[in-house]
Amino acid sequence: MNIIEHAELFLGKVSQGWKERLAFSGLQVVCFKNNPFESVDTFLTVGLSYHELEVSNVKKVRQELLFHLSSTGKAEIVVLFLLFICDLILKDHRALLGAGNTLPNGYGSKAWI
């Protein structure tokens, strides 16, 4: 089972998808409209998990980003935001460990995402 099939078990069918045009990372973002609730859209990155990301010097993980947002019609902005965050993660190949994470070196100290 791939990541999209897994997500569809919980969120229904993918409503829309986007792929990064200018990079060769293979990153995509898919949207599940009105899921998990009416007037809430869920965005999921696809492709980030192809990369091993460091948690520490001895531990690596694979992860995707999941983002819920009130249905505002601003999907393209969310997609650009998620692709930007993925690019920052892939710059250093460091995993996000929780809700409060600082951006990789060179993108400002104590910038919370």
Domain residue limits, the chain: 3-92
pLDDT at 59: 93
Say what the pTM is. 0.82
Q: Each residue of 31-76: pLDDT tens digit?
A: 999 999 999 999 999 999 999 999 889 999 999 999 998 987 789 9
pLDDT at 105: 53
Of 75, 96, 88, the C-alpha closest to 30 is 75
pLDDT at 81: 92
Residues 17-24: contacts with CB within 8 Å, 24+ apart? 17/46, 18/76, 18/79, 20/83, 23/87
Q: For 59, what's the count of Cα atoms within 13 Å in the CB-facing half-sphere? A: 6
CA separation (Å) from 23 to 19, 50, 75, 83, 105? 9, 15, 20, 10, 21
Residues 107-113: contacts with CB within 8 Å, 24+ apart? 113/85
* Residue found under tokens 């919370």: 112
pLDDT at 8: 96
Q: Each residue of 67-112: pLDDT tens digit?
A: 998 987 789 999 999 999 999 999 999 988 765 555 555 444 344 4
